[in-house]
Amino acid sequence: MPALRASRRAQGRASELEGRRSGALPTPHPGGRRQRAFRMGGVERQRGDVSSQGTLLLIGGAEDKVGSKVILSRFVQLAGGAAGRIAILATASSFQDLVGQRYQALFTALGAGHVDVLRVGDRAQALHEEPRAQLAAATGIFITGGDQLKLTAMLGGTPIAELIRQRHRAGAVVAGTSAGASVVADHMMAYGASGIPPRKAMMHFGPGLGLIRGVVVDQHFGARGRAGRLMTAIAHNPELLGIGLDEDTAAEIEASGWMTVLGRGSVLIVDGAHITYTDIHNVPDHAPLAIFDMRIHVLSAGYHYDIPNRAPHLPKETAPFPETGYVWGEGI
């Protein structure tokens, strides 16, 4: 009997191998792990899928505007350079004209072919034909900083919000800095407190634009001490992946979920998938949380992260660290 069982197992393995060779059975992910599904813009994808979906460039705020401008230059490149059309959305800012005009001058100087500043200061203007036409032609969309809750309150349910999603699905790159980075996810970090440790009521979710699902994005991360509130967000729902962006630092996320870090700071990843215990549902609102087995990764320029499989990756070569030209809080 043992010999018969061994023979049947061998036959089964041979049959399975033949099935994979013929395409009848899926090839397992390297390391024996199945790939996680990844959703960007509401479309479920597997790592490595070919997609016309555009890239996301999420910036932690205060990006360099006077030195090498690595991040802003990358956005112009992704938007098509001299052949591209960039639309700037400064709705989140209290100084929309000033902020919009500054980015317009920067992108033009960096070689962008055409740059529009959308006039969308309230919900009524979000219905106007001119900004809708400008957005419909854009190959790159740049969402400035300010107040992300103001941004969703002004744009939610309007043609402008839907056009951003449509253009991204069609392949346009969407960049957001500061509040503009937080708003791209479906779970948006609406507001919260700074500090450590994580506490139950130190952050509040709101609905974002939904360009990427399954993540929550925070910005000005190190400068404003926001590690605690990002950990709290993940404790609320460990299925989410937390992305904390330092100032003058960006996460470039391809449609497949492959992320690359740019800039002078770091990106902190908070992975709650392996949490074995948290008391968030039992403690008072302002009490510190207990969390077991939360995973943290810290990535600097050139490092990668595979979002669907929740795996960090080494860079092909380590980028030299910039020693000058950056002070926390510079810029608007």
Which amino acid, 87? A
Closest by alpha carbon to 120, among 161, 86, 148?
Answer: 161
Residue 328 CA: distances (Å) to CA of 87, 98, 180:
27, 21, 18
Q: What is the C-alpha separation between 255 and 267, in angstroms, rounded?
A: 19
* DSSP 8-state assignment for residue 205: E
- Contact call for residues 114 and 88 (beta carbons, < 8 A): no
| Helix, strand, coil abundance in the chain, percent, nearest 5 | 30, 25, 45
- Contact call for residues 69 and 61 (beta carbons, < 8 A): no
Mind telling me the catalytic residues?
178, 220, 247
Three-class secondary structure of residue 332 per DSSP = coil
